[in-house]
Amino acid sequence: MIKRTRTEISKCIIHKVANKYNSGHNAFSEDLVRFDEDSYELLLPFLLKPFASVTQSYRFNHNADVRLNEINKYASSVFEDDRTTTFIESSRKIVNHLYEQSNSAQIKTGDVLVVYFEGVEYKDILTEAIGVFKIESKVDFLQTFKDEQSFDVVVQKGISTKKLDKGCLILNASDTEGTVILSIDNNNYDAQYWIKNFLDVRFADDRNLHTQNYLEMCKEFSEEIIKSELGKQEQGVFLANTVDYFKENESLEIQDFKDEVFEDDKQKELFDDYKKHFEKLNDVLIRNSFEVSDAVLKKEKSKFKTEIKLDTNIQIKLDVDAPDVASEYLELGYDEDKKMKYYKVFFNAEK
């Protein structure tokens, strides 16, 4: 969602956040990080690379006035005042606010990096961004050193640059819904902690959200209704037809979708009933008409389960991008002699 080819770190500070539940205490830095060339070149892509592939953005939320959102206030003060003292003071407030959200023993302590970026490209516009990153997990690595006449080795702990635990980018850019925020959380041990309690953000009401909600509903419908009533083969057919519809159409119209995907009116009625159930259960509104997000489709279709697992330790994997496979080349039958079901698979050659 962002491009970092022209991005630079303008300011960076590191603090340590404790766990309030365990009566811990935060530890604060007094000054900004002074990078050498190697550490700078390693840190910049580590912090920003995950945000290039995110498909959805967030907006600040608050039950009374979004201007009272804690992180919104601190970020706004930094954007409005570029003094280093303002940045350091706001970074401490951010860490203290994060500390106040640690209301259970499972919330991990860690290093918190607050970073001011310049030259972040978002939708072809260069802007600034404030990043807040929490490093919760550290890895063991071996460090060699020379002791008198020989080399020795010691185990040390450090930050792995392979995966960022938690992070957000608050862009100095907005639309009709408010300030644009991007977020990642690779340690989902507490789903409320980072997104809801710390950031207090909601998904932007756009094509990305509409596409995700609809595809999630189709996935659950395939599991709870089609699989249970018609079997795995028909589930695979439905999911493949769903993906095909989204690939072939720039926008979705629900009646057109049902006409394309379902063969009879009973299935359409089941789908309509399940849509109401899904909306009520998840407190979401499934749009009947919206523009399709190709990026979300690519991400969500990977979650579709199309394997047919048999009790004879055989698995048949259906290609969700091939809508005609399950109906044309896979045939379900019953063998009277063996008293067992079977699948007949048609093919021209092995690959």
Cα-based angle 289, 292, 293 (whole degrees, multiple of 5): 145
**How far, in Å, are 73, 330, 342 from residue 335 at the CA level?**
69, 16, 7
Indicate yes or no: pTM above 0.85.
no
Distance CA 192, CA 72 (A): 18
**How far, in Å, are 47, 138, 296 from residue 132 at the CA level?**
9, 18, 25
What tokens does 174 get?
């907005």
**How far, in Å, are 8, 221, 305, 316 from residue 135 at the CA level?**
21, 37, 32, 40
**How far, in Å, are 110, 239, 311 from residue 226 at the CA level?**
45, 10, 20
- For 148, residues 6+ apart whose C-beta sits below 8 A from its C-beta are none
DSSP reduced 3-state for 275: helix
Q: Which helix (H) or strand (E) holds 212?
A: helix 207-221
Distance CA 110, CA 108 (A): 6
Instruction: With beta carbons less than 8 A apart as the criterion, state whether 202 and 57 touch.
Output: no
How do 110-122 and 8-17 pair as beta strands?
antiparallel
User: What are the average pLDDT values for consecutive 10-residue runs of the chain, which has 351 residues?
Assistant: 93 96 93 94 95 93 93 97 96 97 91 97 94 92 81 84 92 94 88 92 94 96 93 91 95 96 92 96 95 94 88 90 85 92 90 80
Residue tagged 């049902």 (tokens): 258
Helices and strands counted in the chain (H then E): 11, 16
- In this structure, the number of other CB atoms found within 10 A of the CB of residue 221 comes to 22
Residue tagged 């991990």 (tokens): 108
Q: pLDDT value at position 305?
A: 84
Q: How many residues does the chain have?
A: 351
Among positive and negative, which fits the CA dihedral 91, 95, 98, 100?
Answer: negative
- Phi and psi at residue 28, in whole multiples of 5°? -115, 145
Distance CA 268, CA 290 (A): 19
Q: pLDDT value at position 137?
A: 87
DSSP reduced 3-state for 25: coil
- Phi and psi at residue 173, in whole multiples of 5°? -150, 145
Q: pLDDT value at position 153?
A: 85
Q: What is the largest CA-CA distance in the chain?
A: 84
Q: pLDDT value at position 151?
A: 85
Cα-based angle 26, 170, 58 (whole degrees, multiple of 5): 110
